[in-house]
Structures are given as C-alpha cells and as structure tokens.
Amino acid sequence: MTIRNVTRAVRKPHRTLRRTTVPALVAAGALTLGAAYGSCSVSAAEAPQEKSPYTGVEAPQSGVLAVKFDNARGARPHHGLNKADIVYVEKVEGGMSRLMGVYSGRQPDSVGPVRSARESDVELLRQFGRPALAYSGVRSELNKVLRDSPLYDRAHGSVPSAYFRKSGRQAPHNLFVRPQAILESAPNADKPADIGFRFGAAPAGGSPATERTVRYSAASHTFRWSPAAERWKVSFDGSAAMQTNGRQMAPRTVVIQHVDMPPSKYKDVNGSVTPYIKTVGSGRATVLRDGKAYETRWQRPSAESGTTFTLSDGERMPFAPGQVWVVYADR
C-alpha cells in the first residue's frame, strides 16, 4: 500500500465494525491478574471492570495506547511490556525487529525503551479506532503521514513531560514514557472494542507443539511451551526475553501471522529500506496455545476492520485468555 492509499484510507469517516463491549461490571475490592501477565491491583473506586476484547480477562478499561518498543540487544530487558494486552512483533529495516505494545487499562508507571514508528503502523492501528501512539520519532518524510492519520500522534517532543531518559542505559536505548501522561494528553482516545479476537476453551484438533521460531534476516523470535507455567516462554536471538522484574516474558497465546512485507519507499539513516507490513488482506496464520499449534486463516477486509482468525471448519479460533502476541512472518 502506498502512502497515498494509506492517507486516503485514514481520511475516510471512521466506520466502527463489531465494536461492541461487555457492559461494565463494578468491581469490589481489587483485581489481581496472573503474575506472568503482570500483576496489577486496581480498586473499584479507580475504574470499573470490564472483560477486555483484547485479552478476554476482566480489567479496568481506559483509552487505548500503543507504544513502539526498541528490540535491539542493547534495549533489553524491557520494562512494562508484560502489562500490555497485545504485543506485536514487526520486521524493520536490516532484518531486525521492533515491538509494539497495546495497552487498554493496566497502565504501568513507565514503559520502554521507546523507539520510532513506521509507515505501516498507521494501517495496523486503524483497527483500534483512534488510539494514542507513543514513539520516539520518524523520518521527516513520514511526519505528514502520521499527522494526517486519525491516530493521536504523541511522539517524543510533542508531550515532553511524558518522556524521560533512564539512567544506567546507553542512548538510544534509554528513552522511556509514562503511559498515563500520554493518555491525559489524548483524553478522547477510543476505549477498547472488538478487533476480531475471540477467547475460550481450546478447540478440538491442533498439533502438539513445543517450540516455534520466526526468523528475520537479523533477528529470531522463539516461543517454547512450558507445561508447568502453561505459557509460551519467549526468547529473542537465542536468549530469554526478560523483563526488568526478572521474569521471562510468557504469553498464553502466540499468533504467527504470515503477511506480505514488500519494501516501502523509505530508508533509514544507513540507507536500509524499511519493509511495509501489509496487515489488510488475508492469509494463513498459526495459533499457538495450550501446547498445540492450530492452522487458521486470517482476514482483515479493510484498515478500519478487525482481524479474524478462522479454523478449517469455518469456526472462529478461540485464544486462551490473557496477553496475546502477534508475530508478523513472511508468507
């Protein structure tokens, strides 16, 4: 998709597809979620509890915030990524990877390290309506694309009080952001709504799976099933993907979504071409849950619509409740 097409798409009036939420349930006391997903206690006085359409778990719901994370070796361990509802793994120039965390209620005090956005992030995030996007910057040619998009563009520099440099880390891997400050600057960011995910008991079928790896030319992402933890433990480039709390990242559901990633017209400062991740369309996807791999088809008719994952019998593929990782792989 060209920039012209993306800009034309985002200028359309926003069409809400399947954007229904579960009526709010007022929680008594505090809600504590599983440790691997990130513990976070929220009192009923602070926010009502709703079942998140992103995780299938009851949690307080606020405006949606997407944060671009650095994933170079020097950027690890990550901070606050374990509390994201969804984590996207994206290929960038040079065959390296970046991460995007999507938050919709459980806001850590800070997250990071933060890095730059890419052209295809606009298309990816349109299924969330009008979320806020926190990132460190973009190539100057992309500023207009983000400015013309319906996203709440909250780059480093636009909300100076939200960003800070963390001591003990080397630049450029030391930029962190305060999610609450970003959302306060974007009070009309859309609340969570249906983006096509479904949650529930594992369906029949599937193939036993203990490990899957998605490789880019300069990065690898491995997911190993832990029967004891009942989660997929994550490794980057052969090393455990650790959080600053000392725990390894471990979602219950991993989606390996095969997409086209042709070269875009943009390059980085070193002249490497940035790939454009095409998240509108259809194709195959492997869903990992409960120690099994399920072959599915993904479909997303337009940038404004959500992404559905369907089994061979036509039924929607249910994810295990909890954090979901979506890893974009070449077709």
322's torsion region: left (phi>0), alpha (psi -120 to 50) or beta? left
Q: How confident is the model at residue 200 (pLDDT cuts 50, 70, 90)?
A: very high
Which structural domains are found in the chain, ordered by start? 1-12+48-331 (3.50.90.10)
Give the chain's count of helices (H) and strands (E): 4, 25
The Cα–Cα gap between 194 and 211 comes to 30
| pLDDT(39) > 70 | no
> Which has more confidence, 80 or 46?
80
| pLDDT(34) > 50 | no
Structure tokens belonging to residue 241:
């993907």
| pLDDT(84) > 90 | yes
E-strand spans in 44-93?
Answer: 49-51, 58-60, 65-69, 86-91
Of 112, 70, 93, the C-alpha closest to 236 is 70
The Cα–Cα gap between 300 and 284 comes to 12
Task: Check residue 72 and report its DSSP letter.
Answer: S
| pLDDT(299) > 70 | yes
Structure tokens belonging to residue 40:
């976070």
Of 257, 200, 209, the C-alpha closest to 51 is 200
What percentage of the chain has pLDDT greater than the value 70? 85
Per-residue pLDDT, 46: 54
The runs of H, that is alpha helices, within 149-239 are: 179-185
Structure tokens belonging to residue 122:
């606009």
| pLDDT(37) > 80 | no
E-strand spans in 173-291?
Answer: 175-177, 198-199, 207-208, 211-216, 219-226, 231-236, 239-240, 253-259, 263-267, 273-275, 281-289
What separation, in Å, do the N-terminal and C-terminal C-alpha atoms of the chain show?
17
Q: How confident is the model at residue 230 (pLDDT cuts 50, 70, 90)?
A: very high
Average pLDDT value for residue range 53-65: 94
Average pLDDT value for residue range 142-169: 92
The pLDDT tens digits for 273-292 are 899 999 999 999 999 999 99
Structure tokens belonging to residue 88:
């996207």
